[in-house]
C-alpha cells in the first residue's frame, strides 16, 4: 500500500481543482470565426482547377468560402470584375481598373507578409504590375507566344517536330517542306498580322522602339530591323508557303483560323492560352504540339502577364491577400508559371509547358498596358510600310526609312 496523503496536501489539491472548475465555468466560450465569402473572377476555362484550389485554401482558413465567378477571358481587356473581391487580370486591363478606382494597392499587405518570397517571381512579370510606385497585382503567370504545329502534317511529310533548339533557318526549311500546292497545304500561317513580324524582328536582334517597357521613339531604320523585314516579306511572297488573311479567301479555306482547324497548315504562332482551342467553341480536331519560338540572333517571345488583384469591394483585405498569396504559389493551367520555383517543379508534370516557361523566363518581351495606346499609331505606320515591302512596291530599307519619317514617335 502507498503512503497516506498528508491532509494539507489534500486540501491544496481540492482547492486547485475547485478554482479550475470555477474559472472554466466563468470563461467566455471562443466564438467561431465570422463567415467570410471571397468572390474570385477568373477565366471560365480554368474554373474547375481554381475551384479545387479555393477548396484547398478554405480547409486551412475556417469560416472562409470562395465563390468562383467564371467569366470570358480576353488578353487585352481581361475579364468582367463586377461583384468580385479578387480578380485575375492582365497588365493591359490594369490601367482601366485603376482609373475607375477599382483596385487596392498591395504594398501595405506585401510589407506585412514576411513569408512572401518576392525574388521567386520572374522580374519582368512583377514589373508589369508596378505603376506610379505602387504594386497592384501579384503575378499569376505568363501568356506566352509559342509555335504550334500540326503533328499529322509533319508526320505525312516526314519532317521532325520543332523543339527548343530550332532556329529561324529550321523554321524556314520546315515551312517549305510542309507546303503542298496540290493539296492546298501551307507550311506556315500568319494568325496575327502585326505580331508575327514583330516577333521575327526582335529575334533577329532588331527593334521597333528604343525601349519596350518605356518607349520614347521608334527605331524602324535599325539595320537588323530592315534585315528581318526583308526576310519576312520574301518568305510571304514565295508562292504556296505562307497563308495570310490576304490570300486565305483565294488559296485557303475561307479564312486563316478555319484553314488551320481543317488541318491544312503546318505551323502557326499564337498565345499559350489558346492551345487546343481552349477559348474556341470546340477543341482543335487535329493532333497538335507546341514549342518555343525558333531562335535567331537571340531568343525572344512576347508575353502577357496575368496577375491577382484585390478590388475595392473586398471587405476583408487581409483575407483576400492571404488568398491571392496562396494562389500565386499554384500553377494555373492556362498560363506558364511566373515563379521560378513553379517552373522547376513543373518540369516533371507538364514537360511541354515547362519548356515554354523556361524559354520565356528571361526572354519574354512585355509591354505595359499604358503604352499600347501610345504605340498604336506607330505600329499602324510600320504595318503600312511592311505591306509595301510584301507587295514588292518598295525595298525594306526604303519602306522603313519612310515609316521612320512618318512615325508619331520619330
341 and 400 co-located in one domain: no
100 and 121 co-located in one domain: yes
Residue 207, in any domain of the structure: yes
pLDDT of the residue at 3: 52
197 and 249 co-located in one domain: yes
pLDDT of the residue at 370: 77
- In angstroms, the CA 95 to CA 78 distance is 11
What is the number of structural domains in the chain? 2
Q: What is the pTM of this model?
A: 0.87
Residue 199, in any domain of the structure: yes
150 and 124 co-located in one domain: no
Residue 5, in any domain of the structure: no
Counting residues of the chain whose pLDDT is more than 90, the rounded percentage is 71
Residue 100, in any domain of the structure: yes
93 and 184 co-located in one domain: no
pLDDT of the residue at 233: 98
Residue 6, in any domain of the structure: no
274 and 298 co-located in one domain: yes
Residue 24, in any domain of the structure: no
Residue 11, in any domain of the structure: no
Which parts of the chain sit beneath pLDDT 70? 1-33, 251-254, 348-349
Residue 232, in any domain of the structure: yes
pLDDT of the residue at 349: 66
Question: Which CATH number covers residue 107?
Answer: 3.40.190.10
131 and 254 co-located in one domain: no
- In angstroms, the CA 166 to CA 13 distance is 82
Domain ranges, residue 399: 144-302+368-406
168 and 110 co-located in one domain: no
- In angstroms, the CA 229 to CA 201 distance is 7
- In angstroms, the CA 284 to CA 306 distance is 24
- In angstroms, the CA 74 to CA 110 distance is 28
Amino acid at each position: 500500500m502507498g503512503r497516506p496523503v498528508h491532509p494539507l496536501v489534500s486540501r491544496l489539491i481540492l482547492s486547485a481543482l475547485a478554482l479550475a472548475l470555477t474559472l472554466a465555468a466563468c470563461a467566455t466560450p471562443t466564438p467561431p470565426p465570422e463567415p467570410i465569402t471571397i468572390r474570385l473572377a477568373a477565366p471560365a476555362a480554368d474554373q474547375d482547377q481554381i475551384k479545387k484550389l479555393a477548396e484547398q485554401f478554405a480547409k486551412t482558413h475556417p469560416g472562409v468560402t470562395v465563390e468562383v465567378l467564371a467569366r470570358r477571358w480576353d488578353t487585352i481587356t481581361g475579364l468582367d470584375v463586377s461583384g468580385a473581391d479578387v480578380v485575375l487580370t492582365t497588365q493591359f486591363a490594369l490601367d482601366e481598373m485603376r482609373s475607375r478606382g477599382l483596385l487596392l494597392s498591395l504594398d501595405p499587405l506585401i510589407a506585412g507578409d514576411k513569408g512572401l518570397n518576392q525574388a521567386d517571381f520572374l522580374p519582368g512579370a512583377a514589373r508589369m504590375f508596378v505603376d506610379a510606385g505602387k504594386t497592384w497585382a501579384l503575378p499569376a503567370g505568363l501568356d506566352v507566344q509559342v509555335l504550334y504545329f500540326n503533328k499529322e502534317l509533319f508526320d505525312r511529310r516526314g519532317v521532325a517536330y520543332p523543339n527548343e533548339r530550332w532556329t529561324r533557318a529550321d523554321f524556314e526549311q520546315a515551312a517549305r517542306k510542309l507546303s503542298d500546292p496540290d493539296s492546298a497545304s501551307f507550311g506556315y500561317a500568319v494568325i496575327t498580322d502585326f505580331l508575327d513580324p514583330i516577333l521575327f524582328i526582335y529575334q533577329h536582334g532588331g527593334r521597333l522602339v528604343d525601349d519596350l517597357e518605356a518607349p520614347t521613339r521608334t527605331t524602324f531604320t535599325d539595320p537588323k530591323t530592315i534585315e528581318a523585314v526583308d526576310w519576312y516579306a520574301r518568305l510571304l511572297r514565295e508562292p504556296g508557303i505562307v497563308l495570310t488573311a490576304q490570300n486565305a479567301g483565294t488559296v485557303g479555306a475561307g479564312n486563316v483560323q478555319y484553314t488551320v482547324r481543317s488541318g491544312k497548315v503546318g505551323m502557326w504562332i499564337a498565345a499559350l492560352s489558346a492551345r487546343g482551342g481552349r477559348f474556341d467553341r470546340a477543341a482543335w480536331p487535329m493532333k497538335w504540339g507546341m514549342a518555343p519560338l525558333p531562335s535567331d540572333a537571340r531568343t525572344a517571345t512576347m508575353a502577357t502577364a496575368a496577375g491577382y488583384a484585390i478590388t475595392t469591394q473586398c471587405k476583408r483585405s487581409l483575407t483576400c491577400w492571404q488568398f491571392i498569396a496562396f494562389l500565386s504559389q499554384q500553377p494555373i493551367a492556362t498560363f506558364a508559371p511566373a515563379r521560378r520555383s513553379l517552373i522547376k517543379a513543373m518540369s516533371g508534370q507538364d514537360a511541354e509547358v515547362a519548356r515554354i516557361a523556361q524559354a520565356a523566363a528571361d526572354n519574354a518581351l512585355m509591354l505595359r498596358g499604358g503604352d499600347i495606346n501610345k504605340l498604336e499609331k506607330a505600329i499602324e505606320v510600320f504595318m503600312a510600310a511592311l505591306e509595301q515591302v510584301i507587295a514588292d512596291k518598295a525595298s525594306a530599307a526604303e519602306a522603313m526609312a519612310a515609316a521612320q519619317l512618318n512615325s508619331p514617335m520619330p
